[in-house]
Amino acid sequence: MATTKLGFIVQRPPYKSENPKLALTHAIASQSVEVYLNDGDIVTADIAFVGDGVLNCKKDQKAMDLYKLTSTETHVKMALLLDLNVLVCKEDLDRFGLTENDIVLNAEEFGAEMTVKVVPFAEITKMMEGVNHLLFF
Amino acid sequence: MATTKLGFIVQRPPYKSENPKLALTHAIASQSVEVYLNDGDIVTADIAFVGDGVLNCKKDQKAMDLYKLTSTETHVKMALLLDLNVLVCKEDLDRFGLTENDIVLNAEEFGAEMTVKVVPFAEITKMMEGVNHLLFF
Amino acid sequence: MGKFTIGCFSSLVGSMSLDFAVKLAGTALEKGHKVDLWVSGNATMLSLKGQRAFKDYSHLEKPLQELMQKGLTVTACEACAEARGYHKEHTIEGFKRHSMDWYLASAFDADRVLHIGGE
Amino acid sequence: MGKFTIGCFSSLVGSMSLDFAVKLAGTALEKGHKVDLWVSGNATMLSLKGQRAFKDYSHLEKPLQELMQKGLTVTACEACAEARGYHKEHTIEGFKRHSMDWYLASAFDADRVLHIGGE
Amino acid sequence: MKLAVFVSDYRVNVDTLERLNPEKLGIIFVQNGVYHATVKENGNSSSLLKKSANHYVLLDDLDTRGLGNSDVADNVKLVTYGDIVDLIFNEYDKTAWL
Amino acid sequence: MKLAVFVSDYRVNVDTLERLNPEKLGIIFVQNGVYHATVKENGNSSSLLKKSANHYVLLDDLDTRGLGNSDVADNVKLVTYGDIVDLIFNEYDKTAWL
């Protein structure tokens, strides 16, 4: 019975690259990884949005309407629904003049109990220190 | 009998993206475009390296030895062999502390008569004004 | 009405440059312009048939086929495609494959050229 | 000796990130480490067989097959490949295809992980 | 020349635009370039908005990113794909994609 | 933590490195990151060389770009692919690719 903790760090804005979306879909895959592991072994995935990456969390993305593409907003909501720990850097939101009103905070409509945590960068550093491996996107 | 002039502007360094190489190979294609055109109609391609793009012109690139890949240096030489006009921005060379000694200037070993022209940015502006269409890489 | 040549080189599923190029081509066609679309480099991925339409990934086969019926000419760089393992038999019907000089020939009598390189 | 999991997501022929990843994997194998290579996103292009070996383009099929014989495990993201039209029958022999959880499972008991995202 | 420059990224990794000085300049923000039209970092607008030019931003790409008209700086005009085609054909004679 | 950060681009479009402050930091220049180790713009070295860290540059990627040992700044150590494997396993415990 062992736990391996992974930290996914999203540093770039959405859409111009596939990376932020792949960060979220790979992190979500932590919920189905058991099929490859021994009983009781688990992998956890924390996700942190930093720098321009916080722009992924903007509310009301219309990617599906306009480009028939799942929005990163929807992927963030899926991560919450699957009980992942989602951190957003407060200093970076401040830098862009964004508040909690501007970003995805929960996925109540899907019945998710987890909520996005807006935290100082120091908290994200702590997460990075605490995980076994880091994946920067 | 008409001539269409194209200006290829290379703004980025080599290898991290395919673009500088594709700029050169597409510009070189101006030498075989007649197959699609009426007799006497031609397309000319001038190539200008600006900004970080001047790093493409560095001599002694070992891409073939180390990664089995044609170097951009070789592509520049091919462009000279096919009589294309190749301009390199002097101000950008200066900015990087590079001189004519550091860059590809000719392709004498292939019998090319054309040489690379190191010119002030103002000359490149003139080229951009004079062509029919611009292609920025 | 004029002739519009669009070249797209940056491709990544996810960069959305091809989504932009295809939408712009469609809009120009609707306005009565003649449109040539050239894809080279990684953008040659656009020519590959049988891409599965997942909602997480740009999927342009259908809009492209509709635009081809409306007169869009779309051509992939043959060498760029072959180097990636996209052979003739894998190519969407109606999608042409030529060497790079085709793009320059299209630019020859184009009124406007938009070359989407970057990246 | 340890286990090394390398993930590569950035792919463009031309970015040379896959060239880097494959060389690094080979070097780690030679030093006696166990190496898993995961390719996702555009890097799944690595799994496609029949790529023509032009000298202008990165061509990794041969070095990859040599490394697989020396024990390299290499796996592509199945959904990322399907979305691009790279189906099972187009896959290089020995190249595995799995869902994304495979990568996380590989990281589970890895001593080191190098995730090449970027771009 | 009359040049329409497309900016498709927020972090622009070339300095070409700073040096271009055509008779007429249009800057069209598309894809992640739209952040230049909307985002203020530490209260400051993008330096690209200070460049003497006609500025345009693609509506579809704003909406895709959850950005609204009210976020757009005053000197930037909202445009559709149709408007971009017309700009290219009627207002400018050459284009550049950075 | 002991963190090895790979820098693969010359124009870095993220500011993560400025904010990371691990117990031990290694900066490994690969691909176009190697220009940080060699290029001076207007006489100035890359700001990444001023960061308190151990700096490394991949020899193969220097040679590929026509750059030689003599171009490399004094505080940057030349490394091979083999050295990078050893650094990852022996000197650092986590990695980041920016």
| D23 chain-F contacts, CB cut-off 8 A | 60, 81
- The model's pLDDT over C3-46, given as tens digits with 9 standing for 90+, comes to 999 999 986 677 899 999 999 999 999 999 999 999 999 999 99
Read off φ and ψ for residue E12, nearest 5 degrees.
-80, 125
The Cα A85–Cα A114 span in angstroms is: 8
CB atoms under 10 Å from CB of F50, counted, come to 9
Strands B85-89 and B42-49: parallel
Please state, in angstroms and rounded to a whole number, the distance separating the CA atoms of residues A57 and E65.
9
Question: What contacts A109, CB < 8 A, 6 or more positions away?
Answer: none
3-state secondary structure of E74: coil
The residue among E12, E65, E81 with the most chain C CBs within 10 A of its CB, best to mutate, is E81
pLDDT band for position B117 (cuts 50, 70, 90): very high
Average pLDDT over residues F19-47: 97
Nearest-by-CA chain B residue for D15: B16
What is the extent of the structural domain holding F67? 2-97
The string of pLDDT tens digits covering residues B6-21 is 999 999 999 988 999 9
Gyration radius from chain B CA atoms: 15
How is the beta sheet containing B42-49 ordered, strand by strand? B117-119, B85-89, B42-49, B3-10, B133-136
Using the Cβ of E23 and the Cβ atoms of chain B, whether some distance falls under 8 Å is answered with no
Read off the amino acid at residue D28: A
Which A residues 30-69 touch E at CB under 8 Å?
52, 55, 58-63, 65-67
Helix (H, G, I), strand (E, B) or coil at C2: coil
E16/B129 CB distance under 8 A: no
Between E8, E11, E65, which is nearest A61 by CB? E65
Confidence of residue B24 (pLDDT cuts 50, 70, 90): very high
Pair F67, F34: CB distance under 8 Å: yes
Task: Say what the pLDDT of residue D12 is.
Answer: 62
Q: Which of E15, E87, E92 minimizes the C-alpha distance to E56?
A: E87
Report the residue of chain C nearest B18, measured CA to CA: C41
Which CATH number is D63's domain given? 3.40.1260.10
Mean pLDDT throughout E5-23?
A: 94
Non-local (6+) Cβ contacts of C14 within 8 A are: A15, A17, A18, A19, A21, C57, C58, D41, D42
pLDDT band at E69 (very low <50, low <70, confident <90, very high): confident
| Residue A85: how many other CB atoms lie within 10 Å | 18
pTM: 0.96
Within chain A, residue ranges assigned H as helices are 19-28, 63-67, 72-81, 90-95, 121-130
Task: Report the CATH number at residue E13.
Answer: 3.40.1260.10
Fold category of B3-136 in CATH: Hypothetical Protein Ychn; Chain: A, (3.40.1260)
Tens digit of pLDDT for each residue in B71-91?
999 999 999 999 999 999 999
pLDDT score of E73 more than 90: yes
Mutation site, A46, A128, A133, A137, interface F, largest F CB count within 10 A: A128
Inter-chain CB proximity D113 and A134 less than 8 Å: yes
Q: For residues B122 and C119, which has the higher predicted lDDT (pLDDT)?
A: B122
| Residue E53 amino acid letter | A
F11 secondary structure, DSSP code: S
| H or E segment to which residue C115 belongs | strand C112-116
CB contact under 8 A, F8 and D118: yes
Other CB atoms within 10 A of residue A29 CB: 20
Per residue in D19-42, pLDDT (tens digit) is 999 999 999 999 999 999 999 999
Residue B3, classified by CB atoms within 10 Å of its CB into exposed (0-12), middle (13-18) or buried (19+), is exposed
Q: What is the pLDDT of residues E18-43, one digit of tens each?
A: 999 999 999 999 999 999 999 999 99
Residues of E in contact with F98 (CB under 8 A): none
What's the rounded Cα separation, in Å, for the pair E57 and E8?
Answer: 10
Size of interface C-D (CB pairs under 8 A): 72
Chain A residues in contact with D40 by the CB 8 A cut-off are 22, 26
Contacting partners of chain B (3+ CB pairs under 8 A): C, D, E, F
pLDDT digits (tens, 9 = 90+) for A3-52: 999 999 999 999 988 999 999 999 999 999 999 999 999 999 999 999 99
Q: Tell me the DSSP string of A92-132.
A: HHHHTT--GGGB--B-GGGT---B-EEE-HHHHHHHHHHSS
Do chains F and C meet with 3 or more Cβ pairs nearer than 8 Å?
no
Per-residue pLDDT of chain D (119 residues; tens, 9 = 90+): 999 999 999 866 778 999 999 999 999 999 999 999 999 999 999 999 989 888 888 889 999 999 999 999 999 999 999 999 999 999 999 999 999 999 999 999 999 999 998 76
ipTM of the complex model? 0.96
A76-117 pLDDT tens trace: 999 999 999 999 999 999 999 999 999 999 999 999 999 999
CB-nearest partner of A43 from D10, D104, D119: D104
B22 has a pLDDT exceeding 90: yes
- Give the model's confidence band at F69: pLDDT under 50 very low, under 70 low, under 90 confident, else very high: confident
B16 part of contact set with chain F, CB < 8 Å: yes
Query: What does the pLDDT read at residue D17?
Result: 94
| Structure confidence at residue C58 (pLDDT) | 85
Interface check for F11 against chain A (CB to CB < 8 A): the answer is: no
Residue D103 belongs to domain spanning: 3-117
> Which chain D positions have a beta carbon within 8 Å of C51's beta carbon?
82-85
Range from B77-81, C20-24, C57-61, F28-32 carrying the lowest mean pLDDT: C57-61
Q: How many domains does chain D have?
A: 1
In this structure, are residues B123 and B87 in contact, taking their beta carbons and an 8 Å threshold?
A: yes
Which residues are CB-contacts of E9 (< 8 A; sequence separation ≥ 6)?
Answer: A16, C118, E31, E32, E33, E98, F13
- Residue keyed to tokens 């019975």: A1
Side chain identity, residue B93 = L
Whether E65 sits inside 8 A of A16 (CB atoms) is no
Q: Which residue of B has its CA nearest to D22?
A: B67
Q: Is D61 on the interface with B (CB under 8 A)?
A: no
A and D make contact (3+ CB pairs below 8 Å): yes
